[in-house]
Every structure is written in structure tokens, then in C-alpha cells.
Amino acid sequence: MNIRKVFLVCSIALMIAGSIKLPVFGMNATDANAQENEYNTVSEAGISMDVSFGYDGNTKTGRFVPVNVTLKSSINTPFSGTIRIEAMESDYDIYQYDYPVSLDAKEVLDQSFDTPAGRADTLYVKLLDKNGTELLRKRLKTNATPETAELLVGILSDNPEKMSYLDGVGVNYSSVRIKTFNMKTEKMPDHVIGLDILDVLVISDYDTKVLSKEQMSAIWEWVKGGGTLLLGTGARVDETLYAFRSELLEESYMPPAERSVDMGVEYSTNGPGDSFLSLVCADISLKGGTGVLSNDQFSVLSSVSKGKGSVGVAAYDFADIATFCETHRSYVDKLFTALIGDTKLSNLSSFLYSGNSGQFWSVQNMLNTGNVDKLPRLSFYIVLILAYIILLGPGIYLYLKKKEKRGYYRTAVVVVSFIFTAIIYLMGIKTRFKDTFFTYATILDSTENYVDEYTYINMRTPYNKAYTISLDPSYEILPITRSNNYEMEPVPKFVGDEDYKVRVGYGKEETKVSLQNAAAFTPKYFSMQKRTSNKDHRGLLGDITLTDGLVYGTVTNEYPFPVEKVGILMYGKMIVLDELKPGETVNLKGASVVNYPLNSSFIVSARVTGSYLYPKADINDPAYMLALSRTNILSFYMDKYSSVYNQEARIVAFSKSQSDSQFLSKGNFETFGMSMFTSTIDVNTRMAGRVSHSALIKSPTVVSGQYYSDSNAIYAVDPVALEYSLGNDLEVEKLEFENPSGDFSNNENVSYINLFKGDIYFYNHDTGNYDVMDSGKTVYSAGELTPYLSPGNTLTVKYVCDDTEGKNWYITLPMLTVTGRDK
């Protein structure tokens, strides 16, 4: 047979082979990557498996996703095995999560597993028998779109179809697209992890009485962790707000009534009246809230910050504006942008490209101090080496020469070398790691009824070998990984047969975390959280009133141990107490109040912990290292769990009484870290009939220039004009401009805080011009403000920096505090 015939036969054989679909174990006779969500329905062992995940198949990178598994047994004997869920993390490592399952004869099991989603593009769910043999497999392809950032919105309503107009709307110049899915009461999670993939939860045309206590607790914990809750009221205001009244409402409200609502002049077609809708509205006043969208006579949408998240309450039912929004979809953009804010929406957009790297770097920075006791004393080694050199060089030689025993010199060199080697080895015992070790940071947030614990760990081993550790099974575990997008590496194929890097096995007594194929001292970061009942009523309790820049009230330490470096952080103001003994109550009247710059968490934390007092870093000073560790954890806490404006006060404290291995289930491992205790207290801003609050309770409207609301800063070169809302329900008596205290402006360690220096102008509504204010004047009375206040109590201020030539940094503006009486 010649070469051409051989080639022809081989080609025909290859074509035939390519047309035949060979069986693949665990898949329904198809290639695992050829089709999405293909799987075999029944294993040879007589077990079938059906899987769904997320909400309508939606999930997000770096979050937990609920994976719902249904197992059905057709055999007459019990079955025990493992559900294994595999995900590729953003650093391209494979993580496996093992959950034990068992079925009785011919039983049907429905179970949901909250699992880290990894890169959130593909998951594999496998059923293994008790010997670890794979029986079934399903490939799950998510509905995430890699091109556009998504705002995942859950809708809880008795008539969710009326709010379908929200789906697909572009927000913040279409940089983020809304994706909605309907949620049912019976499937609403009763734990915060189940809500993790949501960005916004909309509750409208719904009776919240049907929600359980656990479901409500999960919603509040989710909000305080950064979620946005949006409530529609209208005719069903009593039912919708039932579960939220005590947390949100400042006072009772009038029954809902039909009112004319101006949706915005931009929606007028034939005249100004075209933009008005007749809607049933409720006029709601929120505790510490502010109007986000306002009508002429009342707030259409009000919001209040809760922790890192926020709650928005609309005067109308969102189902009632469906017809209008289907025609004018940009109103949804206007609504969500006003509520969530440009900064948070921009972060969602940038997350699409950077992934979870931001959290990775912040956690790494918090945990990078380590245990300085492990550092070798270099001075000892220097002295030892010098002694060794002198002894081996002229020392021994001259001594043996004098004794006329130079023939023993080589033997002496060997003996002395062995002696010094043993000494160096013995000196280094304390500095060496013998087994897996941990660096951790724990935040214990106490309320009257429960304690939320947030622990971040860095797990490492000194050897190039696989290892396994056991963690407390009561924690929810989420890996924190860095995105590899920065290295421009191609994303490897994920077919479900790759070897794992990390395996997490969940059990009743312990959670086993196993690592393999990792180099020595390679860091692995995890976030761990749990909620426990506060049966002993431990915490930092208080009663605080803030008015005219002064603080009144008390703070009590309800822990059975002393706490130190106690910081009471309010919006732009703080009080620092050196120590609180167990059961001690401190009266805050007359306490020194420090004004701090916004969004400067590290320097504010340094002021609380005292690390700012050290002129330079000194890793050999235990006191400095302690202060630095405390600064790092407090800075992380402020960035992650504090919002731009919050009516609440956060009390933070530290203690030397802490457990170093509370997250471990078993094993005698080395741990080093820091615990911080926190509590949240409502701040009263009313005293003797007067109200005093920050004018930044609502972010100023930018009239011209560049303004950064999260840091209350401007770009130095250009003049900036801002319109401040002082509250249309307030009769203004006084307005005060407050700069950060001297601790931040006169300290060499924080010289990069640039305070505003220049001219301030007020817009005069009588003349239509800007009037320059007196240099150095910080307090303005009602009479002085009369020509500058609009009918809605807004004040337009222009800032012009001095000597802007060559400057390219940001300038911190004064904070405005308004004092007055209710109209």
C-alpha cells in the first residue's frame, strides 16, 4: 500500500472517529465543555441528582452562591457520600468544597449549600460515594456577562411582574446594568450568607409580617455589611414597613393619600404638567435620614445609612409607577443612582476588571505585621560571627603557635566550627516555624441580642508539602484571592478534572482545610464569620447626644475584662478614652472632641490607637508594633464597615484578654494576631428643642468643578461650587465650618492631609452674584445667612484655592454643621 492510500485510509478513520461521541464518565455522553449544564441523571449506584444555583443562575465573583441539590435514591439500601462543589478562584487555583450527605432507602433529599463562587463563571457539582469514587457530575455555567458590570436586584413582592421594568436598565451612564430576579417568602434565606450575591433588595407591594425573625435578622445583617434595601410604600405602607418600623421610623406618619408627584422636568413633552403623576403616597420621616429625591412639598425617596449599607424608602409603591417607567426607563437610572451613589456604582463597574483584588490587598495589609518575637536578634549574630572569625583566624592559630602545637590547627578549626554551628542552631530555635502557623485579625461586633464575629486569617506552612488543619465548623469560610488579570495571563480551561489546590471539607465536629502543591510560606487568606447569641449581654453600651460640636451621655464597658484605646467614632468627630475597667461607666460631658478628616481611615485609626505618637517605625519596639497592629485592623474596619455618612456612633476598643486560637477546632498551631471589640449606638442630635447635624448628611450637589463626596475633597486647581442641603424642615439658626483638628494638620506623620486655604464665596439669591466671605470666619448666624439661603434651605458655596500653580493633589474641605429648630 503506497503512502497516498495509507493517508486516505487514516483520514477516513479519523472522520469516522470524530463523528462518534464516546462516553465520558459522569457526563451524559458529551464533552464536559461542549454544552453547558449537561449531566447524567442516574448513576450506576441508583442515585439521581438535579442541581440549580444562585438566583436564576446568577452569581458574582468573590461571593457565596446557594447551590441547590436534589438527590433521589431508587435503591433499597441507605447511601452515604459527599457532594463536592469545585470552583476556580480569581488566581486560577482550584478550590473544592466537600459536604457529607446521606440518604435512606428510596429517599429524596433537597439541600442547599452556600458555597464561594470563585470566578463566578463555572462550577462543577459532583456526587462521590463513601470511597471517594465519582458517581455523578454536573457542570454549571453562570449567567454572568463578562462585558458589563451587573447590579443584582432581588424583588420581594406579591406582584413581582409589575416591577419587571427594572430588569436590564443601564445605571450610572450604563456602566452598570440591572438584573432582577423574583424572590419567594418561603425561600428567603434565614442567614446573611444566603443574601450575599445581592446588591439591592427591593420590597414593595408586600406584607413583611410573613417574614420570620431569622429572615429579618439576615436582611439587617446584610444591609449593615454593605447591601442596599429599597422599600416601596404607597397604599400598603403599614404592611411593607411593619418589620422595619422600630429600626427606621422616627415618628408616626399620616395615612397614605393621593398626591401629585413631579417625576422630573426632563420627562415633560408638551409642558411642565406632563411630568406629574397622581400616586398614593406616604410621607415618611426616617431616623437620621435625608431626602434623596424630593418633590416640592415632601421627599419622594429618603435614605438612611446602616453600617456600610443603606435603606431607601419611597413615598409610593414601585408597582404604581410601572407604566411610567416602561416609557421612561431613565427614571430607574435616576432613582438607583441617587440612592446608591456614584462611588458605589463605579466600584461595581471597576470590580468587573479588578475582581476581589481590592479586598485581598487590604486584608494582606492588615495581617502583614506578624509576630516580631520570631525575628532574630541581629546584634547577637553579628557578635557571634565576629567572635568566630577572630577565633578561627588569629586566635587559635596564635594560641597553638605559642604552645608549639600548630599541627592541631585543622582539628581545632573543625571542632570550633561544629561548636559555633550548634550555638547558631540553638539560638535560632525560637525564630523557626516547625509547623503550620496563622496570623489573624478578629472583629467582634456586639449588639444587645447577638455578637457578629469577623475573623481574617493568613495560613502558611514552612515546608513544601501538603498539610491539613481543622477549623471551628460554626464559621462560614470564604477564600480571599488576588485577580490574575494584572499579569495578563490567559485564563486556563476548567474542565472539572484538574487537581485541587485547596479543599474544604465540612463536618459536624470540624471543617478540614487541606492544601497541596503550595510552596513554603505561601500565604492563603480566608474570611471567616459567624453569629452567636449574646446571652451574657456583653459589649460597649452607651447613650450619646451630639449637638453644637459637644458630646453628652455615657459609655459603659459590659465586658468582664478591661478594654483600652477606646474610640467613639461619629461622623467626622471622635472621642478617645485610654481605658474602661469592667463595668465602668464614663460620663462624656466635657470630653475632648476631635474633628477628623473623612475617608482617611489609617490616620484616624492611628489617632485612636496612639501609633501616630511614634516618630518613626521601630519593629524592635513591642509597644510600637502593638499600636501598628491595632491601627491596621481599625483602618480595615473603617474602610469595610463604615459608610460615608452614618447617624450612628461606632465604639471600638482593644484588650489584652483575648484567645489566640478561637477559630481552630483542634491542633496545637502557632497563632498571632489581634482582636478588636465594637458596638454601634444611635446618636441623638436633638437637645432642648434644637437640632444639630452635619450638612453632609446629604451629599452636596456639584454646581461646577470636581468634588469627591467620599472624602469631602476637591481638586486643587479648579474652583468648585457646591449646593448644600441644610434641611427644608429646619429653621436654621447657625452654620459652622469645621476643619480637622490640629492632630491631623500639624503632625509630621500625616502631612499629606492638605486642608483648604483660600477664598469662600456664598451665592447671593438677591443679587445673583457670589459674595466673598471674611477670611477666617467659621460661624454664621441666621441673619447673616438670609440672602444666601434658598426657599428650600440650600446654600451654594464656591471654594477657590490659594496658590494653585503646580498643585495636583486633593484638598480637604471644611465640614459644615447646621443648627436650628424644626419648622
Specify whether 206 is located in the same domain as 323. Answer: yes
In a domain, residue 476? The reply is no
Among candidates 572, 588, 585, 566, which has minimal Cα distance to 679?
566
Among candidates 635, 622, 643, which has minimal Cα distance to 676?
635
Mean pLDDT value of segment 334-354: 78
In a domain, residue 256? The reply is yes
Among candidates 357, 325, 348, which has minimal Cα distance to 174?
348
Q: What is the pLDDT of residue 14?
A: 35
In a domain, residue 135? The reply is yes
Residue 135 Cα distances to 22, 74, 575, 694, angstroms: 18, 14, 61, 62
Buried b (16+ CB within 10 A) or exposed e, 331-344: bbbbbbbbbbbbeb
CATH number at residue 45: 2.60.40.10
Specify whether 552 is located in the same domain as 566. Answer: yes
**Cα 456-460-464 angle, rounded to 5 deg:** 155
Residue 344 in grid coordinates: 458605589
Q: Report percent pLDDT > 70 for the chain.
A: 88
* Higher-confidence position of 308 and 569: 569
Q: Report percent pLDDT > 90 for the chain.
A: 45
Please give the Cα distance from 173 to 342 (Å, whole number): 10
In a domain, residue 230? The reply is yes
Q: 373 falls in which pLDDT band (50, 70, 90)?
A: low
In a domain, residue 432? The reply is no
Q: Do 628 and 611 touch, CB atoms closer than 8 A?
A: yes
Last residue of a domain, one of 632, 653, 687: 687
CA dihedral 604, 607, 608, 610 (to 10 degrees): 140
Specify whether 272 is located in the same domain as 132. Answer: no
Please give the Cα distance from 154 to 174 (Å, whole number): 19
Q: Which amino acid is at 453?
A: E
Residues with Cβ < 8 Å from 654, sequence gap 6 or more? 563, 564, 565, 609, 630, 674, 675, 676, 677
In a domain, residue 346? The reply is yes
Q: Which amino acid is at 548?
A: D
Per-residue pLDDT at 639 exceeds 80: yes
* Full DSSP string of 674-695: EEEEEEEEEEE-EETTEEEEEG
Last residue of a domain, one of 657, 687, 717: 687
Q: What is the pLDDT of residue 357?
A: 75
Backbone angles phi, psi at 81, to 5 degrees: -165, -150
Specify whether 11 is located in the same domain as 130. Answer: yes
Please give the Cα distance from 132 to 96 (Å, whole number): 13
Other Cβ atoms closer than 10 A to 386: 10
* Full DSSP string of 562-589: -EEEEEEEETTEEEEEEEE-TT-EEE-T
Q: 555 falls in which pLDDT band (50, 70, 90)?
A: very high
CATH number at residue 281: 3.40.50
Q: 273 falls in which pLDDT band (50, 70, 90)?
A: low
Specify whether 559 is located in the same domain as 656. Answer: yes
Specify whether 715 is located in the same domain as 606. Answer: no
Q: What is the pLDDT of residue 775?
A: 81
Q: What is the pLDDT of residue 807?
A: 56
Backbone angles phi, psi at 490, to 5 degrees: -65, 140
Per-residue pLDDT at 576 exceeds 80: yes
Q: What is the pLDDT of residue 578?
A: 92
Per-residue pLDDT at 20 exceeds 60: no
Specify whether 342 is located in the same domain as 312. Answer: yes
Structural domain range at position 109 = 1-144+482-518
- Residue 499 DSSP label: P
Q: What is the pLDDT of residue 605?
A: 92
Backbone angles phi, psi at 476, to 5 degrees: -90, 130
Mean pLDDT value of segment 406-424: 82
* Higher-confidence position of 201 and 274: 201
Q: Could you read off the pLDDT of 446-471 as tens digits, one per residue?
A: 988 889 999 999 999 988 889 999 99
Q: What is the pLDDT of residue 526?
A: 95
Among candidates 372, 397, 503, which has minimal Cα distance to 86?
503
Please give the Cα distance from 362 to 376 (Å, whole number): 27
Specify whether 627 is located in the same domain as 695. Answer: no
Within 3-116, where are the H helices? 3-19
Please give the Cα distance from 786 to 764 (Å, whole number): 9
Q: Could you read off the pLDDT of 211-250 as tens digits, one per residue?
A: 999 999 999 989 988 899 999 999 999 999 999 988 888 7
In a domain, residue 505? The reply is yes
Specify whether 139 is located in the same domain as 164. Answer: no
Per-residue pLDDT at 810 exceeds 90: no
Mean pLDDT value of segment 505-515: 94
In a domain, residue 618? The reply is yes
Q: 12 falls in which pLDDT band (50, 70, 90)?
A: very low
Q: For the ranges 77-81, 179-183, 245-249, 310-314, which has the lowest average pLDDT?
A: 245-249
Please give the Cα distance from 290 to 691 (Å, whole number): 14
Q: What is the pLDDT of residue 382?
A: 81
Specify whether 404 is located in the same domain as 486. Answer: no
Last residue of a domain, one of 405, 427, 449: 427
Q: Could you read off the pLDDT of 96-127 as tens digits, one per residue?
A: 999 999 999 999 999 999 999 888 889 999 99
Q: Could you read off the pLDDT of 734-777 as tens digits, one per residue?
A: 999 998 887 776 555 555 578 888 999 999 999 999 999 998 89
Specify whether 745 is located in the same domain as 731. Answer: yes
Q: What is the pLDDT of residue 80?
A: 93
Burial status of residue 538 (CB atoms within 10 A of its CB: 0-12, 13-18, 19 or more): middle
Q: What is the pTM of this model?
A: 0.84
Specify whether 211 is located in the same domain as 341. Answer: yes
Q: 697 falls in which pLDDT band (50, 70, 90)?
A: confident
Question: What is the average pLDDT value for the chain, to the nearest integer?
Answer: 84
Q: How many distinct structural domains can be found in the chain?
A: 5
Q: Could you read off the pLDDT of 178-203 as tens digits, one per residue?
A: 999 999 999 899 989 999 989 999 99
Please give the Cα distance from 210 to 192 (Å, whole number): 18
Other Cβ atoms closer than 10 A to 817: 24
Q: Do 72 and 99 touch, CB atoms closer than 8 A?
A: no
Q: 354 falls in which pLDDT band (50, 70, 90)?
A: low
